[in-house]
Structure 1
Amino acid sequence: MGRHIRRREPRHHWVLVSLLMAALVGVLLIQGYVQRGWGDLNATQPSATGPAGPHLNNARPVVNLSGAQPTGAGMPDHTIALTFEDGPDPRWTPRILDVLRRHHARATFFVQGSKVAQHPQLARRIVAEGHELGSHTYTHVDLAGVPFWQRQLELTLTQKALAGATGLHTRLIRPPYSSLPAEVGASEYAAAQSVGRDGYLVVLTDHDTRDWSGRTPERIVAAATPAGPRGAVVLLHDSGGDRSATVAAVDRLLTRLDGEGYRFTTVSEGLGLTETHTAVTLPERIAGLVLVAGQQTGRGAAVALTFALAIAGVLTVLRLLILSGLARLHARRVRRAQSEPTSGPPYHPPVSVIVPAYNEAAGIAATVRSLVHTSYPGQVEVVVVDDGSDDDTAAIAASLDLPGVTVLRQPNGGKPAALNTGIARARHDILILVDGDTVFQPDTIERLVGPFADPKVGAVSGNTKIGNAGGILGRWQHIEYVIGFNLDRRMFDVLECMPTVPGAIGAFRRQALPRAEGPVSTDTLAEDTDLTMAVCRAGWRVVYEESARAWTEAPTSLRQLWRQRYRWCYGTLQAMWKHRGALVERGPAGRFGRRALPYLVVFQVGLPLLAPAVDIFALYGLFFGQPVRVAAVWAAFVVVQALVGAYALRLDGERLTPLWTLPLQQFVYRQLMYLVVIQSVVTALVGAPLRWHAMRRHGTFAADSGAHPVVRSGR
């Protein structure tokens, strides 16, 4: 209906959304790579991958492997190069730097590129205080145990991190899990040769203090002290665990050997090397800054999404539990009301049924017949308003020649205009609004009208069922209608804050309808939600009558489903904004505003907007986190949904067989609904009017030519 709205909705934002999702994937991939690498620090040292060879048996600790034969060098006498690896660490590196500064000593820090990117200020402090940096790979991998491409990636990323943090590149490297030259096996030597050909000097050690093994400061000092006046390269750690013993040992070592005439300097200065550090170019600095920012963003995103996933999970499960509890309460109320004897005469007022129709030739006959052939004992008039259809909708409705049916024709003006025309023509005070593709059961009108016996009731929502639920898409929609829409309506009924009486089946008291701008406003594309909210704000009760059932034709393709839900969601956003004043109003209007609107904002807007990022993070957890736990959480969530769904289906008297499609729904249908919300929110924010998307009808009920269509959900 309503072809007069034709301006196109925005499309360019999908490029932005895609870029944002790609950026999120990128930073999470960086964080995932880093996270897996950091796990190596707590693992045992890899065993040698081959027998030790003679290549470095008598070598000095600083080895040049760029030529055919290795050449080595060591510290001069009375010269010690303290080397620290596995950092920088925000807890231990500053303490070690403080000790070195007190003793006017300098050292070499073999850093992990990932930790430099995470703590660039520490790398800058190391350089600013006169120390030097070397590479310890990006994520502490065993260079002998990874393929060539990963080895190159580790070295390249480390250089980029150093460039971004300090503006420098380094030629010094210490491969992880290496210490004394004589302990380098054949495969480790081959890996060291590979990095040597890339221009690196491999810095091993003369004294491995094994401070990571829980030694006391005294034992660390003893292991670091050279024999006699000889110089040495000493291996220590400033990260990877509790390094308090290392901090104490460095202080004692510097104090002792200072008095013996030793100097503590960097590897490069001790050997008289130049150009071990080079300034980077501007493009290299920019690339490094991008890497640093990307890793920090990835870590922040991982932390934020962890909390978001937890909050979303808790809210979703809490919602399901609350829905189930209130649905049970609603069911008890219904049973109690049915068991109580009625007082007074039967309530069967005359009713007017209004059917706005646009291009409904496929199903209008079944709709009108179901309205006329009703078991309702009161008077029923049916007003069909053809809203400028291009097909034979009006002619078909008129040719039925059924008693009490009036067919009106008007130029196309949209569904609200058609409804207003029908309401103006209707003669009775109880108005039933029905879509042109909907079929009533014989007792539907009576069930729908019954609650109006209470003079406080201004509107009644019926129970919409899917008539073409045979395929998997139909089953998904059937599950959504029963579990989502109908459970929500039971809750809203109990809390007295019903936001929507569906256009497919709803009834209104004429007195409850707005009068200022016409009964049905044209302000939104969700005229049923807008109208219902107006009725609630006017102080009337809106209730849900589960036994008043109507069968409607659901979209049969993802494209049609997208168009329908896009219009619904966008129109609901418009209605929520229009009626936002209910949040601060008093009485029934305030009750509606403070109960229904926050619920819609959180569960129909907020969580769906967050869901794509959460889903990406769940995949991140499968690949880089704990896949068993992630799969278990997902399975538990599906089980909870299935249990709630089974209860909802039972309340509606439905079979449970559609629940087998629930796991599949998480991968296609749910994602589609999330994208619908994103599109709708963006459209609303940019202020672009949405054109009406008419759904193609297939005449689900057309084959039934009888007076009382018998429709079953495909289960």
Structure 2
Amino acid sequence: MTSPGRRRAQKQRRVRRRRLPMRYLLPSLFLVALLAMLMLRGYVHSEILADHRVRPPVSYDQVPEHILKGGPVIDARDAKAPKALSVPDKKLVLTFDDGPDPVWTPRVLDKLKEYDAHGVFFVTGTMASRHPDLVERMVNEGHEVGLHTFNHPDLSFQTKNRIDWELSQNQLAIAGAAGVRTSLFRPPYSSFSSALDNEAWPVTQYIGSRGYITAFNNTDSEDWKRPGADAIIKRSTPKGTQGAIVLMHDSGGDRSQTVEALDRFLPQMQKRGYEFTVLTEALGAPSAHTPVAGFELWKGRAWVTAVAVSESTTSVLVGGLAVIGVLVIGRFGLMLALSFAHARKVRRRGFTWGAPVTEPVTVLVPAYNEKECIENTVRSLMASDHPIEVIVIDDGSSDGTADIVENMWLPNVRVVRQVNSGKPEALNNGIRHARHDIIVMMDGDTVFEPSTVRELVQPFGDPRVGAVAGNAKVGNRDSLIGAWQHIEYVMGFNLDRRMYDLLGCMPTIPGAVGAFRRDALERVGGMSEDTLAEDTDITMAMHRDGWRVVYAEKARAWTEAPESVQQLWSQRYRWSYGTMQAIWKHRRALIESGPSGRFGRVGLPLVSLFMVLFPLLAPLIDVFLLYGLVFGPTGQTVVAWLGVLAIQAVCAAYAFRLDRERMVHLISLPLQQLLYRQLMYVVLLQSWITALTGGRLRWQKLRRTGVVEAPGSIPSQRRSGDDRSPVA
């Protein structure tokens, strides 16, 4: 029988297993917050939940005659006795719809203040939420504000729930902006009260039942047509001494003519004895404004604050997206130009690095539990057409990796055993045992072509070259994940590395295929354990020591890429975090002069921008794509995304052509952009979080299958089913 304590422990373990890992939780929260801010911005810009339908007039037989023939103000708060009210003679109520606008509303307010006039601003919730300071100014300067709905829909199309929602959201914005509620309302797309029809009248009645007075107009300036200041003044002027509610606009486009008309209309009418006043004062009614306090006030302020944060954040993100777009296109253009120049340089007839390098070299193979791959790796080296010695450094393997190599009985192959100490120490141990001055390093899951070593060491004919990067290729590209990594590798090695080579700031010698001068390694202190990206670390150290680091395109190595999302995550997480560590370790290169100055001025900023900062912001492209597809201009969004994809496809196709790869794998490029890229973003975000929180990341061993073989390598007897026997 299981004890209660043991059952509790088992339950706790199950709970822990069900808990969402932080590596998923934090990036997910980040993306959700980003999407929420974008949705909020779309909401207050009438891109989400907006209804732009406008219904044509219908019959009027259900509207009371005294309403149709009465004044422009409808008080339907008493459902049994709705009233139509008029503005007294010599009173003018200027009303401004659709604001506040950050450009034109302040100018309208300035003119009203200049002539000591007041008016009524029927504000939309969207604009009031975005510009609360202007609503506050309206109230502080003695003007009245009224509701004009939140998203400006035709209410005759809406349900009662939607109408209530439009009103409450509009009030929320006004409360947050100015600390008041209002009892005034003007429906969108309205005109004179005499235009009320059988569809609009029930809405007016319902609005009245919610405690609002509906203010139409009886004098339309038609300033929205922009007929000129003279025409606006003429249409705004009532006959004789009649009072009027004048309709103008302080938003919705260029309102310069409205401002110009006010500058002449206000003094003209004041000279005729007219008073410009607010609506309730003209009607002799209580003020339309009621102060709010407590929870209602704080809720309004929280709303306005949330909108402000969303507006600011998304504005920055939109600007960042524009910068990213320019950088992406610029980088692609630079890569194409420089990779073309590099290919012409190294492929032209008679090109040499210097005197041919024919002396033997040492190949170091650090291995930890590589029993599935190690025989293929060693046999591929035995097919090399360049003289080599092979040193397999067994880093405390528990699966018999060292025994497999020793039992192969191959000439010029030695095994060095050590307790598990990590890859950098294994390589340093191999350097100490190396007999030759040029040292090639590779991974235990990688296989070389017969010409790889020879091609890799030829750049050492130039005495300035301290390290050479080879061309790593994905061997297991048959799966979708493998195909995506294949595209990534081909583009990275045939565009990025060619570009960095010409710029003289190669950031990384790949661990799968790289070569070094022994004295260059000794001068920089060998492989360091300071970072998890020892290959990037040593490359940056080489630059800072004044050595050239170049790319050998024909030195091809075939490596086994991760075959599952989990393995890929682990590998890229380590790479991203290690790259950040290396950049931080070598940050002083930015201010150094002398041999390392070029790398510090060019290489380190490029690596920081395009390998660390840019990928972190790149998800904006996809977030805005998703938003644009659902809420924005769908056609333009699709065209823009297809344009970016086309640029990437051109670059990928050129990289494949340089590497003489089959184009068929590019079929999966669109999926790579939609799925694979997102995984890489989240991995980088997690790396940032780990770095900023001071977390530590350990080496993680990936599961290998040993399926990769290089073209021209010696077939593995173990793979063909034979017993493992000594090979002379």
TM-score for both structures, normalised by structure 2 = 0.89
Structure 1 residues 339 and 683: alpha-carbon distance in aligned structure 2, compared to 1, 3 A threshold = same
Find the partner of 1:58 among 47, 55, 69. 69
What residue in structure 1 maps to residue 685 of structure 2?
678
What residue in structure 1 maps to residue 696 of structure 2?
689
Q: Secondary structure of the equivalent of 2:40?
A: helix
The 8 Å contact of residues 450 and 713 in structure 2, kept in 1 or not, is answered as no
Shift of 1:617: 2.6
What residue in structure 2 maps to residue 206 of structure 1?
218
Could you tell which deviates more after superposition, 95-104 or 699-708?
A: 699-708
What residue in structure 2 maps to residue 395 of structure 1?
403
Q: Which has the higher contact order (CA 8 A, sep 6+)?
A: 1
Q: Secondary structure of the equivalent of 1:514?
A: helix
Alpha-carbon distance between aligned partners in 2 of 1:444 and 1:664, rounded to the nearest angstrom: 32
5 Å-filtered alignment, 1:264-279, equals 264-274=276-286, 276-279=288-291
What residue in structure 1 maps to residue 658 of structure 2?
651
One-letter amino acid of the counterpart of residue 141, structure 2: E
What residue in structure 2 maps to residue 134 of structure 1?
146
Shift of 1:301: 3.6
Shift of 1:467: 0.8
5 Å-filtered alignment, 1:231-270, equals 231-270=243-282
Shift of 1:566: 1.0
5 Å-filtered alignment, 1:538-687, equals 538-687=545-694
Q: Secondary structure of the equivalent of 1:616?
A: helix
5 Å-filtered alignment, 1:341-352, equals 347-352=357-362
Alpha-carbon distance between aligned partners in 1 of 2:580 and 2:261, rounded to the nearest angstrom: 65
Query: What CA deviation, in whole Å up to 9, does each residue of 1:353-393 have, x standing for no partner?
Result: 111111111111111111123222x2x22111111122121
Q: Does 1:339 align with 2:347?
A: no
Find the partner of 1:162 among 174, 178, 188. 174
Shift of 1:306: 3.0
What residue in structure 2 maps to residue 4 of structure 1?
none
Alpha-carbon distance between aligned partners in 2 of 1:515 and 1:69, rounded to the nearest angstrom: 97
One-letter amino acid of the counterpart of residue 511, structure 1: D
Shift of 1:218: 4.5
Structure 1 residues 369 and 635: alpha-carbon distance in aligned structure 2, compared to 1, 3 A threshold = same
5 Å-filtered alignment, 1:432-451, equals 432-451=440-459
The 8 Å contact of residues 112 and 138 in structure 1, kept in 2 or not, is answered as yes
The 8 Å contact of residues 462 and 548 in structure 1, kept in 2 or not, is answered as yes
What residue in structure 1 maps to residue 322 of structure 2?
310
What residue in structure 2 maps to residue 284 of structure 1?
296
Q: Secondary structure of the equivalent of 1:699?
A: coil
Shift of 1:283: 2.0
Shift of 1:18: 4.0
Structure 1 residues 449 and 482: alpha-carbon distance in aligned structure 2, compared to 1, 3 A threshold = same
Q: Secondary structure of the equivalent of 2:112?
A: helix
Alpha-carbon distance between aligned partners in 2 of 1:156 and 1:221, rounded to the nearest angstrom: 35
Query: What CA deviation, in whole Å up to 9, does each residue of 1:655-676 have, x standing for no partner?
Result: 1111111111111111111122
5 Å-filtered alignment, 1:487-566, equals 487-515=495-523, 517=525, 519-566=526-573
The 8 Å contact of residues 109 and 134 in structure 1, kept in 2 or not, is answered as yes
5 Å-filtered alignment, 1:147-186, equals 147-186=159-198
One-letter amino acid of the counterpart of residue 409, structure 1: R
Alpha-carbon distance between aligned partners in 1 of 2:512 and 2:366, rounded to the nearest angstrom: 10
What residue in structure 2 maps to residue 472 of structure 1?
480
Shift of 1:71: 2.5
Find the partner of 1:29 among 39, 42, 50. 39
Structure 1 residues 402 and 291: alpha-carbon distance in aligned structure 2, compared to 1, 3 A threshold = same
Q: Secondary structure of the equivalent of 2:251?
A: coil
Shift of 1:180: 0.9
One-letter amino acid of the counterpart of residue 121, structure 2: F
Structure 1 residues 520 and 241: alpha-carbon distance in aligned structure 2, compared to 1, 3 A threshold = closer
Find the partner of 2:101 among 89, 94, 100. 89
Shift of 1:199: 1.9
Alpha-carbon distance between aligned partners in 2 of 1:38 and 1:439, rounded to the nearest angstrom: 55
Alpha-carbon distance between aligned partners in 2 of 1:340 and 1:103, rounded to the nearest angstrom: 83
Alpha-carbon distance between aligned partners in 1 of 2:123 and 2:566, rounded to the nearest angstrom: 53
The 8 Å contact of residues 90 and 275 in structure 2, kept in 1 or not, is answered as yes
Find the partner of 2:381 among 371, 384, 389. 371
Alpha-carbon distance between aligned partners in 1 of 2:311 and 2:625, rounded to the nearest angstrom: 15
Unaligned runs of 5+ in 1: 1-9, 711-715
Alpha-carbon distance between aligned partners in 1 of 2:325 and 2:202, rounded to the nearest angstrom: 49
The 8 Å contact of residues 33 and 624 in structure 1, kept in 2 or not, is answered as no
Unaligned runs of 5+ in 2: 1-19, 718-728
Shift of 1:624: 4.0
Q: Secondary structure of the equivalent of 1:450?
A: helix
One-letter amino acid of the counterpart of residue 387, structure 1: D
Structure 1 residues 689 and 279: alpha-carbon distance in aligned structure 2, compared to 1, 3 A threshold = same
Structure 1 residues 641 and 273: alpha-carbon distance in aligned structure 2, compared to 1, 3 A threshold = same
Supply the RMSD in Å over aligned alpha carbons: 2.8
Structure 1 residues 191 and 435: alpha-carbon distance in aligned structure 2, compared to 1, 3 A threshold = same
Alpha-carbon distance between aligned partners in 1 of 2:609 and 2:409, rounded to the nearest angstrom: 49
Alpha-carbon distance between aligned partners in 2 of 1:428 and 1:29, rounded to the nearest angstrom: 63
Structure 1 residues 149 and 391: alpha-carbon distance in aligned structure 2, compared to 1, 3 A threshold = farther
Q: Secondary structure of the equivalent of 1:385?
A: strand
Find the partner of 1:197 among 182, 205, 209. 209
How many corresponding residue pairs?
694
Alpha-carbon distance between aligned partners in 1 of 2:544 and 2:597, rounded to the nearest angstrom: 8
Q: Secondary structure of the equivalent of 1:667?
A: helix
One-letter amino acid of the counterpart of residue 457, structure 1: V
Alpha-carbon distance between aligned partners in 2 of 1:102 and 1:537, rounded to the nearest angstrom: 67
Could you tell which deviates more after superposition, 276-285 or 590-599?
A: 276-285
What residue in structure 1 maps to residue 720 of structure 2?
none
Alpha-carbon distance between aligned partners in 1 of 2:94 and 2:353, rounded to the nearest angstrom: 93
Structure 1 residues 53 and 466: alpha-carbon distance in aligned structure 2, compared to 1, 3 A threshold = same
Shift of 1:479: 0.5
Alpha-carbon distance between aligned partners in 1 of 2:235 and 2:168, rounded to the nearest angstrom: 34
Could you tell which deviates more after superposition, 425-434 or 72-81?
A: 72-81
Alpha-carbon distance between aligned partners in 2 of 1:24 and 1:52, rounded to the nearest angstrom: 49
One-letter amino acid of the counterpart of residue 450, structure 1: Q
Could you tell which deviates more after superposition, 612-621 or 546-555?
A: 612-621
Alpha-carbon distance between aligned partners in 2 of 1:254 and 1:460, rounded to the nearest angstrom: 80
The 8 Å contact of residues 27 and 682 in structure 2, kept in 1 or not, is answered as no
Could you tell which deviates more after superposition, 472-481 or 695-704?
A: 695-704
Could you tell which deviates more after superposition, 408-417 or 484-493?
A: 484-493
Structure 1 residues 149 and 695: alpha-carbon distance in aligned structure 2, compared to 1, 3 A threshold = farther
Shift of 1:275: 5.6
Could you tell which deviates more after superposition, 450-459 or 544-553?
A: 450-459
Query: What CA deviation, in whole Å up to 9, does each residue of 1:14-43 have, x standing for no partner?
Result: 6555444333323322322333469999x9
Query: What CA deviation, in whole Å up to 9, does each residue of 1:484-531 have, x standing for no partner?
Result: 2332111222222222111111111111103575x2111111111111
Structure 1 residues 38 and 206: alpha-carbon distance in aligned structure 2, compared to 1, 3 A threshold = farther
Alpha-carbon distance between aligned partners in 2 of 1:639 and 1:402, rounded to the nearest angstrom: 50
Structure 1 residues 316 and 95: alpha-carbon distance in aligned structure 2, compared to 1, 3 A threshold = closer
Query: What CA deviation, in whole Å up to 9, does each residue of 1:31-74 have, x standing for no partner?
Result: 22333469999x9x945253234413234322133414532222
Alpha-carbon distance between aligned partners in 2 of 1:452 and 1:431, rounded to the nearest angstrom: 11
Structure 1 residues 183 and 400: alpha-carbon distance in aligned structure 2, compared to 1, 3 A threshold = same
Alpha-carbon distance between aligned partners in 2 of 1:137 and 1:355, rounded to the nearest angstrom: 72
One-letter amino acid of the counterpart of residue 605, structure 2: P
Between the two proteins, what is the percent identity of the paired residues? 48
The 8 Å contact of residues 385 and 422 in structure 1, kept in 2 or not, is answered as yes
Q: Does 1:427 align with 2:438?
A: no
Structure 1 residues 453 and 80: alpha-carbon distance in aligned structure 2, compared to 1, 3 A threshold = closer
One-letter amino acid of the counterpart of residue 308, structure 1: G
